[in-house]
Amino acid sequence: MNEIRLIRFLPDDKAKWWGEGEWVNEPDLVKFEHQGIGCMVLRMAMEEPDTKEFHMFGGYLNGYVTIPPDHPYYQKTYEEIPIVCHGGLTFGECSSTHLIGFDCSHCNDFVPSTEHMKKTAVYMQEYRDSMEKLKKNFNLENSPIFRNTYKNIEFCINECKSMAEQLIELRVEHES
């Protein structure tokens, strides 16, 4: 597998925006091919408008695969494509290239900017206090609803590989 791994944001900026974590030193863009299917993992980041101070939302990863023009699901909407992936398909673009993809900013995903803001923003102190009180009052300290997990670059690469393999299986099923 020939991979292209690129850093779009400086590690110091990522640490400042999203706190310390494995995302600081991970690549922000990985392009590769798996079994003839183009794949890409991309870190999402966007400056939030209309905030009192600079805030860069994101830090999480999304994964995408390209549907080849000769594939039976080429030009179908992502809702029509029976691919199983993290959180389900959440993206489809049918322009010059047909991409489908998933994101890692679901309910139990660790979104670096959000988690960093919860820990550091002064105006979030009331939120932090209320969450700690809620956990204690209802004995939820170990509840999975409070255990968000970060989906790292290797997780997303593996999800893209799985999506590519599923596209190949769908083609074979369609041809038989």
What is this structure's pTM? Answer: 0.88
- The Cα–Cα gap between 16 and 27 comes to 17
Closest CA to 97 of 131, 61, 76, 69: 69
30 three-class SS: strand
Taken as a whole, the chain contains a residue count of 176
With the CA atoms of 56, 99, 78 and 1 taken in that order, what torsion angle do they form, in degrees rounded to the nearest 10? -100
Please report, in tens digits, the pLDDT of each residue of the chain (176 residues total): 578 888 889 999 999 999 999 999 999 999 999 999 999 999 999 987 766 777 789 999 999 999 999 999 999 999 999 999 999 999 999 888 899 999 999 988 999 998 888 888 777 778 778 888 888 888 887 777 777 899 999 999 999 999 999 999 999 988 87
Residue boundaries of the structural domains of the chain: 3-175
Q: What is the pLDDT of residue 4?
A: 82
